[in-house]
Structures are given as C-alpha cells and as structure tokens.
C-alpha cells in the first residue's frame, strides 16, 4: 500500500538516467579535484617571485577556508534552485578564478593570487564540490556509500589528471626543475650568510601564467557542460528495496542537525582527516621529492600517479562501508592513515615514500567518501545540500590550519616533515571516535509541525 505521507512519482526515470547524472557529477569533481595539485605551483612561485613557503601556503589555506563558505552557498542553491544552476555558477567562477589569477600573476603579488585563486576559486569549488554528492544521495538511496564513492572518485582523480597533463609539458617541467635549483641555491647562500641575487626569465613567468589561464578555460567549459546534465530525481522517487530503510529516516533541518551530538562528532572526525590531508597536499610534491630523493619534475609525475590512491580510496572505502558499516570503516581508515603518516615520517627512497603516500591518500579519500553517506542516513536527504555543507566547514577550518602549519614549521625548523608524527598520533586517537557516534534519534530535537 503506498505511503500517504510520501509524494508519489510523477515521472518514472529510465534505468540509465541516474547513471548519466552520476557521470556528470564525476566530471564536475574532476575539475574541482585539480585544486589538490596546488603543490606543483609551490616551488615555481617561490623561485620566480621570491615568495616564502608561508606566503605560498597562505594562498592554498585561503582557498581551503573559502571552500567551506562556498559549500554552504552551494548547499543552499542546490536545495532551493536545483543542482544545475548551482554547479553552473560555480563552474564559471572557477574558470574565471584561474584565468584572472594567471593574467595578474607576477604584476600584483601574492594578494592577487589569494583573492582570485584563494577566495573566488575556493568559493567556486565549494559550490561545485557539495552538489554532486547531494544529488547522488537522492538518486541512489539504497547504495549511498557506493554512489558517493563513485562521484568523489572524480575529486580524487582530478589531481592525477592535472599532474600528468601539466607534467607532460616540457616548458613547465623546465620551470619546475629550474625553480628547485634556485631554491636550493638560495638556501645554501643563506646558510653561508650571503644573499643570492634574484634572476627570473621572462619565458618562465609566461609559462606560469599559462599554467593558471589554460586550466581555467578548461574548468569553465567542462564544468558548465556537466552542469547542464545534473538534475534531481522526480518527487517521490525511491528504489523499492530502500523503502524500509527510508521509513526509519527523518529529515533534519540544518538548525535541528546543529542541536545533535552526532553532528559535532562527525565534524571533529572530518576536521582531523582534512587537517592531515590538506597539509600534505599543500606541499606534497616538495615533500615527495625530499623524501624520495628525486628531482622536482620527476616528483610531479610520480606524485601525480600516486594521487590516484585518493580516488581509488573514495570508491573502495565507500563500497566497504556499505558492506561492513560506516563506523567500522571510519575507524579502520583513521588507524591506517595514522600508520601511513608515521611511516612517511621515517621513509627514505622512492618505494617507501610511495607506499606511505599511497596509504595516507587511500584513507584520506575514503573518509571523505564515507561522510556523505553518514550524513544522509543520520539527517535525511530533504535538506541534504545544506546539512552536508555545514559538515564541510570542518574541511574549511582544517584547510586554513593545515597548509599554514606546514609553511610555518618549515620556516621554523627548516623541515617539510616536522608535522608528520604529531598529526599521525592525532589520527590514531581519532580512530576511537566512530565507536562513540550513533544515529540521532527522533527525540534528539523538537519535532517540526507536520513532520
């Protein structure tokens, strides 16, 4: 007998429709995921424009913080105007951020890059990041973990695609290697009490500008095309075998969600994971080059390949969470991520460095894939866009702290890896939190009229 309280389907979607929407979501997050390749810009910016590691880190920290602001905006737009409009606005802004950043690079300084790539780009990416997951949760109520894992694979593989493409251009490879040599010479000169004269080739600056402008054009085109495909399922849509599970759910408004204990426990878990991951991504290529003992250009390509683990982990752990449960999967992810980071702190050579990075990235991506499924099951899907955007503020705050932590410790201790062991301990301790986190009951918040 039909549920009188559940709206009935006005249109029956085809079997392939939800998979087409899912594919469009992957495409959107491929463009956003390229932001995780920020570290390929780190040494060239430092060498060509005489910026400090803290200044470079501040741009990515600004980006990460503003991503959370954009996520809230994207969640509201998704719930009120639909996924198509929300992503379209984000894609155009993300493209503009790259183009304008490149045009003014070198002329206006670090504040220009912080404004356009950090603020505008961060808000745009936040809008684009939150929408595909919110849409997938509605199209796949019976396989939320797997669906979110597939969508978020795009975010993880975005860095892989970007690194492999940009690393294949000889001009950028030359700039990367030259930058590493310049920074090495500067460090040696400072250690000897001397100052090294700055020397920058005009062609190198032009190459760096193109490294922002060309991707910006691609982001705008690909993101906009994918946005046109995204749409929510018709009212009342659900898969029959999910009906019993859906009957247990209650749709929490953002205000109701913020009054539950479960929200804050999930927020803390995401914050710890994001602090680790974003700190690593902010300087991943220089760290990998240092630990593996290879040239910067070779590290760009190598890390680009290893970063596939971020995408694979999102799919693998999301699927496992459907099988063994969300909370056991989260505990395993945190424990393994902590072990991987501890390993990386002691790694030497390409093999051990690659192993440590792969373990950390597998679990970092996995946690980001499990969290959306938890949010949908704990707080429902009616207000999912807005609810999920509030949880993403954990990554926003972590993104502000993580990159600045790396940049600051590098300047103080002269080491890119000084932060690895303390964060590894934090991850291992966080592995206990999922056992304390349970689904909020209907009595946790006052019921709404008519609910």
Q: Can you tell me the distance from the alpha carbon of 10 to that of 132, in angstroms, rounded to the nearest whole number?
A: 23
**pLDDT attached to residue 98:** 94
> What is the average pLDDT score of the chain?
82
pLDDT of residue 275: 87
pLDDT category at 85 given cuts 50, 70, 90 is very high
Model confidence at 392, in pLDDT bands (50, 70, 90)? confident
372 closest CA partner among 156, 141, 154: 141
Residue scoring higher pLDDT (384 or 359): 359
- The 10 Å Cβ neighbour count of residue 102 is 23
Give the confidence band of 10 by pLDDT, cuts at 50, 70, 90.
Answer: low
Q: What is the mean pLDDT of residues 119-148?
A: 84
Q: Please state the rounded mean pLDDT for residues 150-162.
A: 82
CA dist 402 and 309 (Å) reads 20
Range 180-194 average pLDDT? 67
Percent of the chain topping pLDDT 70: 85
Residue 289 has pLDDT above 80, yes or no: yes
Task: Please report which confidence band the pLDDT of residue 122 belongs to, taking 50, 70 and 90 as the band edges.
Answer: very high
Task: Give the DSSP H or E segment for 268.
Answer: helix 261-282
Q: What is the pLDDT of residue 199?
A: 53
Whole-number Å distance between alpha carbons of 108 and 143? 48
pLDDT score of 381: 75
Name the pTM for this structure.
0.73
State the DSSP code for 230: -
Nearest in space to 382 (alpha carbons), one of 279, 249, 215, 196: 249
Residue 349 per-residue DSSP state = S
- Residue in the block written with tokens 């999967």: 329
Place of tokens 């997938």: 136
What local confidence, expressed as pLDDT, does residue 217 receive?
Answer: 95
Sign of CA dihedral 188, 191, 194, 198: positive
pLDDT digits (tens, 9 = 90+) for 188-212: 666 666 655 555 555 678 888 899 9
User: Which comes out higher in pLDDT, residue 340 or 243?
Assistant: 340
Average pLDDT of span 391-403: 81
- Domains defined for the chain, CATH in brackets: 17-233+252-438 (1.20.1250.20)
Q: pLDDT-based confidence at 4, cuts 50/70/90?
A: very low
CA distance 70 to 24: 20
**Helix 308-324 / helix 350-379 crossing angle, nearest 10 deg:** 40
């Amino acid at each position: 007998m039909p549920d009188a309280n559940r709206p009935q389907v006005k249109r029956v979607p085809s079997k392939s429709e939800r998979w087409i929407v899912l594919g469009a979501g992957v495409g959107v997050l491929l463009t956003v995921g390229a932001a995780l390749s920020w570290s390929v810009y780190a040494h060239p910016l430092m060498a060509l424009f005489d910026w400090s590691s803290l200044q470079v880190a501040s741009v990515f920290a600004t980006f990460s913080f503003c991503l959370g602001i954009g996520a809230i905006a994207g969640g509201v737009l998704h719930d009120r105007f639909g996924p198509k409009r929300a992503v379209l606005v984000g894609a155009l802004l993300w493209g503009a951020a790259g183009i304008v950043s490149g045009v003014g690079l070198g002329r206006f300084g670090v504040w220009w890059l912080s404004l356009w790539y950090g603020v505008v780009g961060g808000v745009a990416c936040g809008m684009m990041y939150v929408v595909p997951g919110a849409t997938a949760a509605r199209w796949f109520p019976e396989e939320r973990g797997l669906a979110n894992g597939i969508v978020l694979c795009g975010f993880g593989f975005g860095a892989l695609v970007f690194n492999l493409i940009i690393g294949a251009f000889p001009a950028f490879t030359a700039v990367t290697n030259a930058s590493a040599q310049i920074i090495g010479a500067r460090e040696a000169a400072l250690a000897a009490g001397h100052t090294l004269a700055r020397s920058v080739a005009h062609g190198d600056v032009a190459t760096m500008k193109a490294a922002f402008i060309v991707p910006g054009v691609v982001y705008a085109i690909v993101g906009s095309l994918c946005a046109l495909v995204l749409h929510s399922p018709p009212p009342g849509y659900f898969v029959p075998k999910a009906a019993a599970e859906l009957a247990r759910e209650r749709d929490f408004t953002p205000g109701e969600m913020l009054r539950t204990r479960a929200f804050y426990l999930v927020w803390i878990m995401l914050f710890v994971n994001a602090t680790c991951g974003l700190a690593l991504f902010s300087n991943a290529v220089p760290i990998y080059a240092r630990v593996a003992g290879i040239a910067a250009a070779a590290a760009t390509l190598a890390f680009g390949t290893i970063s596939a683990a971020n995408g694979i982990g999102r799919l693998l752990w999301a699927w496992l969470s459907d099988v063994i449960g969300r909370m056991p999967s989260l505990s395993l992810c945190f424990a393994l991520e902590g072990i991987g980071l501890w390993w990386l702190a002691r790694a030497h050579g390409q093999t051990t460095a690659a192993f440590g990075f792969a373990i950390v990235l597998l679990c970092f991506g996995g946690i980001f894939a499990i969290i959306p499924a938890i949010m949908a099951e704990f707080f429902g899907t009616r207000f999912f866009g807005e609810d999920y955007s509030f949880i993403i503020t954990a990554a926003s705050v972590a993104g502000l702290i993580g990159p600045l932590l790396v940049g600051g410790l590098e300047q103080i201790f002269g080491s890119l890896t000084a932060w690895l062991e303390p964060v590894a301990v934090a991850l291992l301790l966080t592995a206990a939190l999922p056992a304390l986190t349970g689904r909020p009951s209907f009595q946790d918040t006052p019921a709404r009229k008519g609910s």
